[in-house]
């Protein structure tokens, strides 16, 4: 089997993430990683907190903590939430790790040796009130392209245009709010992306056609606009230091590398963290990795340029055999009623609060069933409730409960034997095999909404089978036929538990634990097994699990809409 390397865009250390961050990178990566493991692949799923840069310093300052302590606490807080969402990272690291520092500095030295880094004197914004040069994100102002009045000096969050601080209209310090800014000369390191343009273009030409249109179009748009040399150092106290053995003057001035230079390298750094903790071989995944390693990245669309242009340029320019991405799965944005999630305005659901309201499986399934793949998608409470109530509570949860409850009532706590399979069971087996093939195909293609639709169709097939066979009627005239129907339906329940695990791992485990199957270590179901529907033999003991998914009530919706904003339909 192929070795599958999976990374999701690093969540920034500053604050708890909202549902849009979850669905745009980490959750689909987890669904895919779980699926691949179930299919027998060797999977390494890596993520980390992105801890450097201006917002970390500002957040630490606001919290009254040293930045290192702030980041350590915030990392633990985020990790606890991701554990709550059942994200199955093989390692969740930190970009401030010694491993990332060492690898980042080494790649920078290699770029310097190969002529792709240049020291330049530039004119940079200096805040008189703060007594310091201001990194890009320490400067806020109005975007000259879209008019957004809270644009940062490196990128406008509203229109996603990459900016220089001097592009901003009415700029001001993000530290003090002072507009008393001057432009003074200082020195920084520049990555000469212009010299790597042809290599990046050739690399994207060889790989980009396989990517989703969203990812490939953004990458090619950047290439069409032309790759500009980019400053990769900043005036900050917190970050990967410029190594003194290569740039002694800049090191003495306290320069650190730009967060977007070291953050992608942390994918490698976190893998090395994993290897140091487990005894694994990080180099076989990243350095001179053979053709059996397939690397898939997950990210929201605003992260695409850095992952498809800047990071590949960095690795190409190092002239070292670093593994580069094979497939970029990019997502559009999840909005809240068409607008942005906002902590300050108390709009939207953030991941910590989501877990306080409902268990993770509710959110996991809803987000994947409505993933913003082809376009932006909008969270509304009514759509959330409709998805949970119809798909999870009725189609799956009710099926499991009524089948097992009725079978126990009529035939006891073991799977009944009943009559041999008939035409209805044969037809059902063929249908399940076809739906399984569709489900696998969509997951293989990383089409998560379509995969959720295929999973829902599998659940619906069981309900349709019960509607046709009607065991509650059969039991009155043909108990053997009713027992056959229930035996078949119980086998469907076990199949659902196995196949649903990537989307709803907790419920899937609860269902599997209902069966007294010794050594039930099955990870997937073959097409032939799906047709036969006989993996749970007659005589197997079972229990009726508690309600898997409670319905969301109108009272719930009213309370949540009032608390988090939005409008009822």
Q: Which of 33, 74, 24 is nearest to 50 (CA)?
A: 74
Q: How far apart are CA 76 and CA 356, in angstroms?
A: 18
Is residue 47 part of an annotated ligand binding site? no
C-beta separation of 446 from 327 below 8 A: yes
Phi, psi of 226 (to 5 degrees): 95, 130
Q: How far apart are CA 364 and CA 356, in angstroms?
A: 14
Quote the longest CA-to-CA distance of the chain.
Answer: 92
User: Which tokens hold the place of 481?
Assistant: 């036929």
Q: How far apart are CA 13 and CA 53, in angstroms?
A: 10
C-beta separation of 117 from 191 below 8 A: yes
C-beta separation of 46 from 90 below 8 A: yes
Q: Which of 89, 81, 105 is nearest to 273 (CA)?
A: 89
Mark out the alpha helices in 208-358 (DSSP H runs): 213-225, 248-252, 259-278, 283-286, 304-305, 311-318, 351-357
151-152, strands of its sheet edge to edge: 151-152, 139-142, 169-173
Sequence-separated (6 or more) residues with CB below 8 Å from residue 228? 193, 194
Is residue 146 part of an annotated ligand binding site? yes
Q: Which of 26, 14, 1, 17 is nearest to 300 (CA)?
A: 26
At residue 197, the 3 state secondary structure works out as: helix
Q: 197-207 and 213-225 are packed helices; what angle lies between their axes, rounded to 10 degrees? A: 160
Sequence-separated (6 or more) residues with CB below 8 Å from residue 420? 484
* DSSP single-letter state for residue 324: -
CA atoms within 13 A on the CB side of 295: 21
- CA distances 487 to 24, 433, 475, Å, are 40, 18, 13
- CA distances 372 to 20, 297, 327, 455, 458, Å, are 9, 16, 18, 18, 23
Q: 399-411 and 448-469 are packed helices; what angle lies between their axes, rounded to 10 degrees? A: 30
Is residue 71 part of an annotated ligand binding site? no
**Residue in the structure block whose two tokens are 């999977």:** 43
Q: Which of 363, 484, 501 is nearest to 423 (CA)?
A: 484
User: Which tokens hold the place of 156?
Assistant: 């406008």
β-pairing verdict for 169-173 and 139-142? antiparallel
Number of H helices, E strands in the chain: 23, 16
Known binding site for ATP: residues? 343
Known binding site: residues? 143, 146, 156, 159, 343
Known binding site for Zn(2+): residues? 143, 146, 156, 159
């Amino acid at each position: 089997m192929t070795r599958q390397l999976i990374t999701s865009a690093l969540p920034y250390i500053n604050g708890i993430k909202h549902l849009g961050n979850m669905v745009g990178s980490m959750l689909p990566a987890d669904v895919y990683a779980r699926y691949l493991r179930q299919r027998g692949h060797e999977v390494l799923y890596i993520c980390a907190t992105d801890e450097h840069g201006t917002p970390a310093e500002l957040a630490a300052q606001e919290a009254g903590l040293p930045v290192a302590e702030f980041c350590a606490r915030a990392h633990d807080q985020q990790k606890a939430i991701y554990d709550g969402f059942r994200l199955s990272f093989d390692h969740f690291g930190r970009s401030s790790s010694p491993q990332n520092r060492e690898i980042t500095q080494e790649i920078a030295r290699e770029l310097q040796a190969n002529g792709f880094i240049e020291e330049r004197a530039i004119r940079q914004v200096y805040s008189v009130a703060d007594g310091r040069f201001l990194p890009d994100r320490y400067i806020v102002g109005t975007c000259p392209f879209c008019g957004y009045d809270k644009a940062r000096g490196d990128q406008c969050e509203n229109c996603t245009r990459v900016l220089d601080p001097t592009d901003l209209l009415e700029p001001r310090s993000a530290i003090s709010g002072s507009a008393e800014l001057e432009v003074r000369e200082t020195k920084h390191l520049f990555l000469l992306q212009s010299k790597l343009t042809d290599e990046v273009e050739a690399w994207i030409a060889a790989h980009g056609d396989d990517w989703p249109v969203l990812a490939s179009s953004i990458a090619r748009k950047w290439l069409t606009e032309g790759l500009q040399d980019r400053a990769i150092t900043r005036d900050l106290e917190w970050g990967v230091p410029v190594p003194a053995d290569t740039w002694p003057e800049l090191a003495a001035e306290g320069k650190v590398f730009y967060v977007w230079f070291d953050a992608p390298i942390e994918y490698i750094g976190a893998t090395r963290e994993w290897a140091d903790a487990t005894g694994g071989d990080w180099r076989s995944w990243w350095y001179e990795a053979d053709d059996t390693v397939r690397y898939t990245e997950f990210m929201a669309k605003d992260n695409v340029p850095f992952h498809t242009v800047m990071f590949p340029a960095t690795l190409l320019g190092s002239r070292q055999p670093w593994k580069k991405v094979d497939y970029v799965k990019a997502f559009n944005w999840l909005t809240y009623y068409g607008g942005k999630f906002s902590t300050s305005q108390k709009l939207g659901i953030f991941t910590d609060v989501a877990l306080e309201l409902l268990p993770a499986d509710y959110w996991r399934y809803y987000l994947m069933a409505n993933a913003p793949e082809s376009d932006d998608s909008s969270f509304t409470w009514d759509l959330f409730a409709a998805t949970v109530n119809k798909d999870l509570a009725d189609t799956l949860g009710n099926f499991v409960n009524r089948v097992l409850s009725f079978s126990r009532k009529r035939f006891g706590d073991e799977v009944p034997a009943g009559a041999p399979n008939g035409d209805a069971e044969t037809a059902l087996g063929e249908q399940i095999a076809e739906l399984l093939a569709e489900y696998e195909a969509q997951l293989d293609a990383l089409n998560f909404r379509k995969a959720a639709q295929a999973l829902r169709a599998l659940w619906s097939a069981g309900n349709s089978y019960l509607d046709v066979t009607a065991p509650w009627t059969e039991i009155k005239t043909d108990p053997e036929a009713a027992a056959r129907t229930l035996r078949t339906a119980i086998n469907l329940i076990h199949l659902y538990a196995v196949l649903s695990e990537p989307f709803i791992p907790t419920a899937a485990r609860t269902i599997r634990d209902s069966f007294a199957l010794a050594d039930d270590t099955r990870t997937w179901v073959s097409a032939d097994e799906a047709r036969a529907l006989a993996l749970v033999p007659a005589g197997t003991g079972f229990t009726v699990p508690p309600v898997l998914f409670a319905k969301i009530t109108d009272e719930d919706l009213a309370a949540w809409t009032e608390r988090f904003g939005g409008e009822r339909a």
